[in-house]
Structure 1
Amino acid sequence: MAAPALIDGHLPMGRHVCTLAEVERAYVPDAPTDRRREIWTQWVGLTGALQSALGEVAACWLSGSFFSSKPVPGDIDCLYVVDIARLEKLSATEDPAAAGLVYDAATGGIKRTGAMIDSYVLTWVPTPGVERDNPIQDQYHRNRGYWDDLWSRVRDVDQRLGAIPRRGYLEVLIDGYR
């Protein structure tokens, strides 16, 4: 699947799975401003740093003004999907620099450093089936639903209209789910 074209200034409804190259071809090369290229370069750098710190990042959901018709986007919104085992392994290594980077990426702290990246982490719990009595897996499903719902909305002064799903987001497979 290729990265979709914008409709009415936004990504079309749904989660659109695509590659990093497809996203770059669709949204970055003809960047109308240097700012769009700068944001993309920062995101690629952060993604590489997280891969180094964690060993791998399964995927990243992307949204925000970067993927809109806004001529000069404010930032790129991203949600890194990281296997819980990777986070547990990082905790066991006691690498404060790597742990600090992942913490900042998980809590919106990257943006507070002045970067144009609003990032968070979704802890992926790879288990077969859906067990409602597993608190870790249940939390994963709640968090996944939260982000899916949030990124399907478009802010509006009409609160009802702002609550209705009206746009989509991208899922970029980085190292893939395995």
Structure 2
Amino acid sequence: MVQPSQGLAVHPETGELPWMAVPIQATLVSIRTAFVTGAPFSKERERLWDAFMLWDRLVQELLPNARVYLDGSFLCHRQDVAPDDIDVFVIADPSDYRRLSHEEKKQIFNATLLYGLRKYKPFDVVDANYCDSTNQHLVAYWAELWSRVRLKDGRFHDSARKGYVEVLR
């Protein structure tokens, strides 16, 4: 893993984190500094961050050994539009996941995971997905997906890559 740095610097032209072969580790404080107080649309981002912090406390209580990763528009300094959610994936041991009640899963993860179609996001703004820590193919899938750059029309750029963040505990 990349060691945490004093700050998370985005590319000045793209607003994206630089691509690295592994997730960028960062503390909650450094993530907030870079992508809430130090980013465009800080007022809108503050609302997302507050919801994320409530969600994160719940995850730490229910899945204390889970690793949490962030990606998406929240980790970008776009000047034209504010992010509307925080994209998250949680890598956890499947036995810990199975131990959760259905209600606890609903509080943490997307309805997509539970019902097959998106009806809600936890706290309305946390787009959270579960990843089985023992399934290395699935872990690699998420790493590949989250390092890809999405174009404005929804397609992925053929060759451009970007970084994503692992929350350092």
Which band: TM-score by shorter chain?
A: 0.7 to 0.9
CA contact (8 A) 1:75 1:118 kept: yes
**Structure 2 unaligned residues grouped into runs of 5+:** none
**Relative contact order, higher structure (CA 8 A, sep 6+):** 1
1:45, distance to aligned residue in structure 2 (A): 1.0
- How far apart in 2 are the matches of 1:142 and 1:67? 25
State TM-score, norm by structure 2.
0.76
Structure 1 residues 114 and 98 mapped into 2: Cα distance closer, same or farther (>3 Å)? closer
- Aligned counterpart for 1:50 among listed residues 55, 59, 66: 59
3-state secondary structure, aligned to 1:154 = strand
| Equivalent residue number for residue 78 of structure 1 | 88
Which shifted more, 57-66 or 149-158?
149-158
CA contact (8 A) 1:74 1:116 kept: yes
Aligned-CA RMSD value: 2.7
State TM-score, norm by structure 1.
0.73
- How far apart in 1 are the matches of 2:132 and 2:121? 22
1:84, distance to aligned residue in structure 2 (A): 2.1
| Equivalent residue number for residue 69 of structure 1 | 77
**1:29-178 aligned within 5 A:** 29-31=37-39, 32-54=41-63, 56-71=64-79, 72-90=82-100, 95-104=101-110, 107=113, 111-112=120-121, 115-125=124-134, 140-156=135-151, 162-174=157-169
CA contact (8 A) 1:110 1:118 kept: no
1:100, distance to aligned residue in structure 2 (A): 3.1
**Structure 1 unaligned residues grouped into runs of 5+:** 126-139
**Percent of aligned pairs sharing the same letter:** 26
3-state secondary structure, aligned to 1:34 = helix
How big is each residue's C-alpha offset from its partner over 1:66-121, in whole Å with a ceiling of 9 and x where there is no partner?
Answer: 1111241122111012122312333xxxx442243245378285844671221101
How big is each residue's C-alpha offset from its partner over 1:140-159, in whole Å with a ceiling of 9 and x where there is no partner?
Answer: 11111111111111123696
Give the number of the structure whose alpha-carbon radius of gyration is greater: 1
How many residues align structurally?
Answer: 154
CA contact (8 A) 2:132 2:139 kept: no
Which has more helix, going by share of residues? Answer: 1
1:29, distance to aligned residue in structure 2 (A): 2.4
| Equivalent residue number for residue 6 of structure 1 | 10
- How far apart in 1 are the matches of 2:118 and 2:50? 18
| Equivalent residue number for residue 21 of structure 1 | 29
| Equivalent residue number for residue 135 of structure 1 | none
